[in-house]
Structure 1
């Protein structure tokens, strides 16, 4: 599957004093994919973005038509990169990709580690006050990869499936358990024991099992954290 790669520097979000690396542009030459992401890519808030479990963000171009139908013809949706993604493809979505899936990408090997948890910076990126909430509620979130083997990648490199370690745990199923049917004990127990899933998500599931309560996502979605 042919891919578009995108990177971007840290910059000030329009209309705010906050900084972000959400604005990504296509890469036109080969670049290294390291343990924490593509060379030349940056994240402003390393507490919640980047790191080994969120080294690469993939967002399906397939979702853009649905967003244009929901929001109208926003200029940000005219080309890949609207959601701060590093990888853009067509033909892969949360319905078909599972946690733990491994892909060859150029000289690198990557593995799906978790779904994307949208944050308030999407609200400013789109000029839509509840955009992060919309992304979370629709399940059109995208996902992250960890890098199992570093290597050089180039525009047009195919994303080649190598292995599926937990095919039953599609990203759609994971999203439903975390954001819709949020206290389903059987699903939470499965998530907590899912060793190919990022530790942060497994801990969320275990906390719900222990407390019987769902955490409050509003500060992350509204920029009050």
Structure 2
């Protein structure tokens, strides 16, 4: 895997389009080095820390090559004009969910990061793109992006490259995890593997544990549609 140099983005909390709901989803490019700590980049903000940010979601990576199919499917939208439309901190070409696995460790600038989980899209994407089912589209396509935890804080600059240094669980690509959780949803063998995958963020492992115990899939509508 030889990804392109990163585009680096951060954002401040602001009202979500058409609402009074605060959100940090709008990210814009930065042109200077930033410190990266356990909870993310300096100057980057998340409004709802119950479900965004934190050590297991310190950095969001969204592949730039996904933008072309989105434009093909949705047409010209402001949020698709430049990286940052999906709330990502890092954009590259050369890494996707089919090639990146949970547990992959990368050096980025002087920091070290590890893939912790895929992204679970939420209803705020519907508002961001002004597409009522955008969150469901992201989930259904598997073009979700992913998150990193920070193993070693450091400084990251625009144009730095992600350098793969170790693969802890190479068989568990993000695409495989997505397929098990959202497509082949009651494959007990896959769920058992996910439940035992220590390097995966606890929140994702718990989905597998609950399905194994309850033999049913959770209701996604509150997350995807914003309905209680």
Q: Is the structural similarity TM-score above 0.5?
A: yes
Q: TM-score, normalised by structure 1?
A: 0.99
Partner of 2:142: 139
Q: Partners of 1:14 and 1:3 in 2: how far apart?
A: 27
Where in structure 2 are there 5+ consecutive unaligned residues? none
Q: Partners of 2:222 and 2:79 in 1: how far apart?
A: 24
Give the aligned length: 225
1:183-207, CA deviations, whole angstroms, 9 ceiling, x for partnerless residues?
0000000000001100010011000
Q: Does 1:184 align with 2:168?
A: no
Partner of 2:130: 127
Q: Partners of 1:14 and 1:162 in 2: how far apart?
A: 40
1:33 aligns to what SS in structure 2? Answer: strand
Q: 1:31 aligns with which of 31, 34, 40?
A: 34
Q: TM-score, normalised by structure 2?
A: 0.98
Where in structure 1 are there 5+ consecutive unaligned residues? none
State the superposition RMSD in angstroms.
0.6
Q: Partners of 1:158 and 1:67 in 2: how far apart?
A: 25
Partner of 2:219: 216
- Give the superposition deviation at 1:72: 0.4
- Give the superposition deviation at 1:176: 0.2
Q: 2:68 aligns with which of 57, 65, 69?
A: 65
- Give the superposition deviation at 1:224: 1.6
| Runs of 4+ more than 4 Å apart | none
1:61-116, CA deviations, whole angstroms, 9 ceiling, x for partnerless residues?
01000000110011211100000000000010000000000000001000000000
Partner of 1:148: 151
Q: How does 1:50-199 map to 2 (within 5 A)?
A: 50-199=53-202
- Give the superposition deviation at 1:222: 0.6
